[in-house]
Structure formats: structure tokens, C-alpha cells
């Protein structure tokens, strides 16, 4: 599987990056490829390109705050979750990708 994701939390600091790291580790443990864009106080980092979107099997988005640029995922399988869930149990989001 090839996944793209965006993580963002209300403060845009620690949890944004913790969720990204947790999700990356869980995906890699399954042998999946993943690219995670973080939207925090520094703006968007590790931005997902149009090519990344086209090659993605699914998209994971956090719902804690409004995200920028989600229209680029129109037509893709999108899983929505919270930053807390990604930090605590990233496998839930990955299981949802497989089930969708």
C-alpha cells in the first residue's frame, strides 16, 4: 500500500509531529510506503505533491482542526481520524485503509 497523510493539531506543535512519526512507523512495519505532511505553526512541511496523490492508494487526514489543501484528494479513499488516535493507535487508521 502507498499512503499519504496530513497531521495537524490545534496548537500545531508536538502532537502534530508525534502523530506523523507514529503513523510512519506503523506503516513501515507493515511494509507500506507513506508520506506525511504536517501542518503546524511552521506551516506545511513535507508537502504532498500531485504525483504523491496520484500514486496513493489512500489518504489519512486528521480532523482536530481544518486542514489546508484537502481538495487535492477528491476521488481518493480518505480515512479521517484524530491526532490522539494516531499517536496512541496508528494501526486503527491503517486497518481502516485496508477495510475501505
Any idea which residues carry the catalytic annotation?
A: 9
H helix or E strand, kind and range, residue 80: strand 78-81
d(CA 2, CA 52): 9
8-state DSSP, 73: G
Nearest to 83 by CA among 1, 4, 22: 22
Long-range Cβ pairs for the range 75-82 (8 Å, 24+)? none
Amino acid at each position: 500500500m502507498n499512503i499519504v497523510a496530513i497531521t495537524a493539531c490545534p496548537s500545531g506543535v508536538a502532537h502534530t509531529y508525534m502523530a506523523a512519526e507514529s503513523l510512519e512507523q506503523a506503516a513501515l512495519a507493515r511494509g507500506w510506503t507513506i508520506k506525511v505532511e504536517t501542518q503546524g505553526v511552521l506551516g506545511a512541511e513535507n508537502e504532498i505533491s500531485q504525483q504523491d496523490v496520484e500514486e496513493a492508494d489512500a489518504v489519512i487526514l486528521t480532523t482536530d482542526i481544518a486542514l489546508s489543501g484537502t481538495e487535492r484528494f477528491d476521488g481518493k479513499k480518505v480515512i479521517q481520524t484524530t491526532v490522539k488516535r494516531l499517536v496512541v493507535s496508528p494501526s486503527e487508521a491503517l486497518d481502516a485503509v485496508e477495510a475501505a
